[in-house]
Amino acid sequence: MSSTKSQARLTKVVDVSVVDGVIRWTDGSNVTDQAKSQNLLFVLGHEAGYTISILVEDPDSSSPEERFRLLLLSTDTIPDELRQHRINGLPAYLRPVKGERGVDVVVSTKSGVGLALQFWRDVLQPLWGVVEDQSSGAAGREPPNVVVTKDARSVREFAASLGGSEGKSPQSRTVVLLSGDGGIVDVVNGSPPDAPSSSEQRQPLLALLPLGTGNALFHSLHKPLWASGDGKAGDDVSPPLVLGLRTLFNGASANLPLFQASFSPGSRIVKFAPAAGEPSADDAAHLAKEETRVSRLRGAVVASYGFHSSIVYESDTPEYRIHGDKRFGMVAQELLRESHPYAARVDVRRPSPPPSGWESIPGDRHAYVLVTPLSNLERTFTISPASKPLDGKLRLVHFGTVGGERTMDVMMKAYDGGKHIGAKWDDGHEVRYQEVDEVRVTILEEDERWRKVCIDGTIVDIPKGGQLSVKREEESGFQVLVDSRVLPSS
């Protein structure tokens, strides 16, 4: 697939108005319709007038074909309230130019609940086509390269081509990801380490459309646009996919903050994949364990050991995969019941200039060790409330063996806008929260079940006595598309 051409029906309308957060219009049959202003994508200005684009999503629809409703309204005039949402055409970073700029659209078919392909066909492809057709210089323009994933390896195989053969890579590259956080991880770890030039002009630009499960990076980058003062989603805020499309067609580039996770010799990536000869990746009964040696990974979301990493690992095992989406709650309940004390030594270095020496966290039993540059692991789960978009600062969230009831209480407070920060108990335990330059976890467990660490959803088994080291990368080699309002002030 390599085209943005798709059937997109423009509806001619008149009498467009905006009253009390509602956009109203009348079509050619004299029928009046309306949509909430938070569903407005943008207004495209062109020679013939304006095209108003609106996305209405029905998350409760039982039919994927009825999940998304893209409205493209053609009108001669627009009210003043819509002028601030005007764009003038397809931005340069979405215009492929042979030999100068490549544009790829990666449709991750297995991300989240599997809506990426439907979203591409019903929303992004027709929307892109209309914007392209009504932009200046549209004739003869190169189409983007569309990659529809076939299996779990597809994105990494695509990422390996980002550098191109020597001397033949484009001047710049934009990659539009219809995926979750896993797509980001696959791109940053799948591309050749020396592929991006030190020149910002040649660093791949990643654009995110949140079609995964947690979408931590997207929600954290857009948090100022949807969160109220208490850190929760405000009333009448735009849905994530609306925010994503606004950013896609009218965004600004920024350095993508990454961290590097290093592992001791003998560490292995552990995952469960279809057994050889099995036709379906959806049949949990035919998954086989695969192990691959690893020395380092790059991450954008989270590095963890303890309760969090165990949930991610065990929910992916065949025993739990057969339970579908219910498996996450089942795993969490079992882990809370066991309340295993994870044997490890945790050392940190603070970022104060110059970087401090190593400081050991007291105790050799832990429940929760998590390092992240992001505020949210889900839109409603605020793990690090002090984190700001693009600042790249690593923060540690840690607590010891406090028991299942207290652990659950901490998690619930994280869902309540990040109120777990500062929690203390009478026996001296507390939630530790601090900015760090580097974290080192030495695994002391005998049983390999409790030696799993998580890097952005990838599970790594570390041998007893081995270490996980997490530190910030100053130059990631990637740009990310963001709303200009979240850019750091100069």
List the one residue out of 456, 151, 440, 201 whose CA is nearest residue 303.
Answer: 456
- Supply the pLDDT for residue 274: 74
Q: Which residues contact 186 (CB under 8 A, 6 or more apart)?
A: 155, 156, 159
DSSP state for residue 366 in the 8-state scheme? E
- Residue that the structure tokens 């579908």 belong to: 324
Angstrom distance (rounded) from CA 326 to CA 305: 23
CA dihedral 164, 167, 173, 175 (to 10 degrees): 0
Q: Are 261 and 455 in contact (CB under 8 A)?
A: yes
Q: Which residues contact 279 (CB under 8 A, 6 or more apart)?
A: none
Query: Which pairing describes strands 32-36 and 365-366: parallel, antiparallel, or unpaired?
Result: unpaired
pLDDT per residue as tens digits for the range 299-346:
999 999 999 999 999 998 889 888 877 888 999 999 999 999 999 999
Angstrom distance (rounded) from CA 97 to CA 103: 9
- Supply the pLDDT for residue 324: 77
Q: Which residues contact 227 (CB under 8 A, 6 or more apart)?
A: 233, 234
Q: Is 326 helix (H, G, I), strand (E, B) or coil?
A: helix
H or E element that contains 345 = strand 342-349
Q: Is 176 helix (H, G, I), strand (E, B) or coil?
A: strand
Distance set, CA 283 to CA 85, 143, 228, 307, 439 (Å)? 45, 36, 42, 27, 38
Number of other CB atoms surrounding residue 240 within 10 Å: 21
DSSP state for residue 288 in the 8-state scheme? E
Axis crossing angle, helix 327-338 with helix 307-314, rounded to the nearest 10: 140
List the one residue out of 157, 172, 231 whose CA is nearest residue 206.
Answer: 172
Angstrom distance (rounded) from CA 440 to CA 447: 20
**Hey, what are 424's tokens?**
């203390």
pTM of the full structure:
0.92
Angstrom distance (rounded) from CA 263 to CA 441: 10
- Supply the pLDDT for residue 1: 44
Per-residue pLDDT of the chain (490 residues; tens, 9 = 90+): 445 555 568 999 999 999 999 999 999 999 999 999 999 999 999 888 999 999 999 988 878 788 999 999 999 999 999 999 999 999 999 999 988 899 999 999 989 889 999 999 999 999 999 999 998 766 667 899 999 999 888 999 999 888 654 444 557 899 999 999 999 999 999 876 555 444 554 789 999 999 998 999 999 999 999 988 777 887 789 999 999 999 999 999 999 999 999 999 999 999 887 766 555 545 666 778 889 999 999 999 999 999 999 999 999 888 988 887 788 899 999 999 999 999 999 999 998 777 679 999 999 999 999 999 999 999 999 999 999 999 999 999 999 999 999 999 999 999 999 999 999 999 999 999 999 999 999 999 999 999 999 999 999 999 999 999 999 998 889 999 999 999 987 5
Sign, CA dihedral 134-138-144-148, equals positive
Q: Which residues contact 223 (CB under 8 A, 6 or more apart)?
A: 375, 376, 389, 486
- What is the distance of C-alpha 299 from the center of its chain? 11
Angstrom distance (rounded) from CA 122 to CA 117: 8
- Supply the pLDDT for residue 136: 75
**Hey, what are 332's tokens?**
């969490």
Extract the runs of DSSP E, i.e. beta strands, from 230-277: 252-255, 258-263, 268-274
Angstrom distance (rounded) from CA 339 to CA 406: 10
Angstrom distance (rounded) from CA 179 to CA 357: 39
